[in-house]
Amino acid sequence: MDRTGNPLTTVGLNSFGFDSTVNVEDLRALYLRPRHRQMSSQTSTEQDPMPSQLRSTYDSTSNSVSYTTVSKFPPVKLLTPHKKKRILVTGGAGFVGSHLVDRLMLLGHDVIVVDNFFTGSKTTVSHWVGHPNFELIRHDVTEPLNIECDQIYHLACPASPPHYQFDAVKTLKTAFMGTLNLLGLAERTKARFLITSTSEIYGDPQVHPQPEDYWGNVNPIGIRACYDEGKRVSETLTYSYQRQENVEVRVARIFNTFGPRMNPQDGRVVSNFVMQALKGEDMTIYGDGKQTRSFQYIHDLIDGLIALMNSDESRPVNLGNTDEFMVGDFAEMVREVVKEVKEQDGEEIKPLNIVYKPIPSDDPQRRRPDNSRAKEVLGWHPRWTVRMGVEEMARYYKALLEAGEIE
Q: Per-residue confidence at 61, pLDDT binned at 50, 70, 90?
A: confident
Q: What sign results for the dihedral spanned by CA atoms 169, 176, 362, 365?
A: negative
Q: How far, in whole angstroms, is CA 276 from its chain's centroid?
A: 21
Given a cut of 50, whether residue 43 has pLDDT beyond it is no
- Backbone φ and ψ for 187, nearest 5 degrees, come out as -65, -45
pLDDT in tens, 196-240: 999 999 988 899 999 999 999 998 998 988 989 999 999 999 999
> How far is residue 76's CA from residue 49's CA, in Å, rounded to a whole number?
16
Arithmetic mean of pLDDT, 106-129: 95
DSSP 316-364: EEEE----EEEHHHHHHHHHHHHHHHHHHTTPPP----EEEEPPPTT--
Q: Per-residue confidence at 116, pLDDT binned at 50, 70, 90?
A: very high
> How far is residue 76's CA from residue 188's CA, in Å, rounded to a whole number?
30
What's the pLDDT at 44? 38
Q: Per-residue confidence at 135, pLDDT binned at 50, 70, 90?
A: very high
Number of H helices, E strands in the chain: 12, 19
Arithmetic mean of pLDDT, 339-357: 89
Q: What is the pTM of this model?
A: 0.90
DSSP three-state, residue 404: coil
Residues 202 and 143 sit within 8 Å (Cβ to Cβ): no
What's the pLDDT at 118? 92
Given a cut of 60, whether residue 242 has pLDDT beyond it is yes
In angstroms, the Cα distances linking 230 to 183, 224, 374 are: 15, 10, 24
Q: How far, in whole angstroms, is CA 56 from its chain's centroid?
A: 24
| Cα angle, residue 171 at apex, residues 170 and 175 outer, rounded to 5° | 115
Which ranges of 107-216 would DSSP assign to H, the alpha helix? Answer: 161-166, 168-173, 179-189
Could you confirm whether 241 is annotated as catalytic?
Answer: no
> How far is residue 1's CA from residue 9's CA, in Å, rounded to a whole number?
9
Q: Choose the catalytic residue: 31, 164, 202, 227.
A: 227
- Backbone φ and ψ for 302, nearest 5 degrees, come out as -60, -40
β-pairing, 283-286 vs 64-68, is unpaired
Nearest to 200 by CA among 190, 188, 189, 210: 210
Output the average pLDDT for the chain: 90
Q: Per-residue confidence at 48, pLDDT binned at 50, 70, 90?
A: very low
Nearest to 56 by CA among 127, 131, 117: 127
Instruction: Tell me whether the omega of the peptide bond preceding residue 209 falls within 30 degrees of 0, making it cis.
Output: yes
Given a cut of 90, whether residue 147 has pLDDT beyond it is yes
Classify 328 in phi/psi space as left (phi over 0), alpha (psi -120 to 50) or beta: alpha
Q: How many CA atoms lie within 13 A of 211 on its CB side?
A: 5
